[in-house]
């Protein structure tokens, strides 16, 4: 048995193609969707994520601009940038790249974003609407996973789902979306006892814990759908040998590093019914849903 690979790249491409028509209709009405990005500090991964998102905006004709503050920025300085984006009519969506530096009050920053421009779905008002099953904007990674499941023909209703991780960005909204889709949902975390026994109950297992290779064959029920949200860079050859298939292992040896998920891909692929690869699984969907939310925000304001 070898798991069917769920192609996040293809699904993301389909979402973008659908957005082209919506953007064209907005342009005919004189509205060009606009995204304002705020990047604080010099974290290479954050800078890379921002470049990926803005490049995707350019491909679809979405206006974008990025304000880059130094790592020493204060909460007040960050809030001032948010206020500026909030006031501007041509900015329909606001993206605050997190994590923010330690001295910045992240909850205060996320709460300062106009909820109607909160295309990341982190504002307390939008989180509350999601809880009530009246979503306006939903965190992009969980929303992208739901799109993937739907477009790949995977039934959610009536199935047992386990979410590994309880972050505000992925774990909690993921659990709510699965619950609203009529799954029976369990959320696991660092205090969960006998984790493999719990995850083996899952028909759908979402791994979003941020630990490379945490999920192995002992965690997975045969035939389960496994969604790997992890994005972990590794440099340890021994770990690479466990987590990479031969072709990627050769690339690792040349480059000295690789990005892997939370799942031990080769062994889990042998027992799962369907599995997302890393890279090429969830990552492209996160960006596609950011674009979709930005277009929806522009549409709502026009």
Query: Are the CB atoms for 278 and 100 separated by under 8 Å?
Result: no
C-alpha distances (whole Å) from 247 to each of 173, 217, 252, 253, 281 are 35, 21, 9, 10, 17
Report the alpha-carbon distance of residue 146 to residue 264 in Å, rounded. Answer: 22
Active-site amino acid positions: 53, 97, 120
Report the alpha-carbon distance of residue 56 to residue 58 in Å, rounded. Answer: 5
C-alpha distances (whole Å) from 68 to each of 13, 34, 57, 64 are 29, 17, 18, 13
Report the alpha-carbon distance of residue 292 to residue 65 in Å, rounded. Answer: 17
- CA 85-86-92 angle, to 5 degrees, is 80
Query: Are the CB atoms for 175 and 227 separated by under 8 Å?
Result: no
């Amino acid at each position: 048995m070898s798991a069917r690979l769920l192609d996040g790249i293809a699904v993301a491409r389909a979402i973008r193609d659908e957005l082209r028509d919506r953007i064209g209709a907005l342009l005919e009405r004189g509205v060009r969707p606009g995204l304002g990005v705020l990047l604080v500090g010099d974290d290479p991964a954050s800078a890379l994520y921002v470049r990926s998102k803005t490049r995707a905006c350019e491909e679809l004709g979405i206006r974008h601009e990025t304000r880059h503050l130094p790592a020493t920025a204060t909460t007040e300085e960050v809030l001032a940038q948010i206020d500026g984006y909030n006031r501007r009519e041509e900015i329909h969506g606001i993206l605050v790249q997190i994590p923010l530096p330690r001295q910045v009050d992240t909850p205060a920053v996320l709460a300062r974003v106009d909820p109607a421009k909160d295309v990341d779905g982190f504002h307390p008002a939008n989180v509350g609407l999601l809880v009530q099953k009246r979503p306006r904007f939903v965190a992009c990674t969980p929303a992208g996973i739901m799109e993937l499941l739907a477009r790949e023909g995977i039934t959610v209703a009536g199935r047992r789902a386990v979410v590994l991780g309880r972050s505000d960005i992925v774990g909690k909204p993921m659990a709510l979306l699965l619950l609203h889709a009529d799954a029976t949902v369990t959320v696991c975390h660092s205090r969960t006892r006998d984790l493999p026994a719990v995850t083996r109950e899952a028909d759908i297992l979402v791994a979003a814990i941020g630990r490379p290779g945490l999920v192995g064959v002992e965690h997975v029920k045969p035939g389960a759908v496994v969604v790997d949200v992890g994005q972990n860079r590794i440099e340890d050859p021994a770990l690479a040998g466990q987590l990479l298939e031969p072709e990627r292992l050769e690339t690792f040896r040349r480059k000295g590093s690789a990005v892997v998920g939370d799942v031990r891909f080769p062994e889990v692929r042998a027992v799962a019914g369907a599995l997302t690869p890393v890279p090429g699984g969830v990552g492209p969907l996160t960006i596609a849903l950011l674009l979709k939310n930005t277009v929806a925000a522009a549409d709502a304001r026009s």
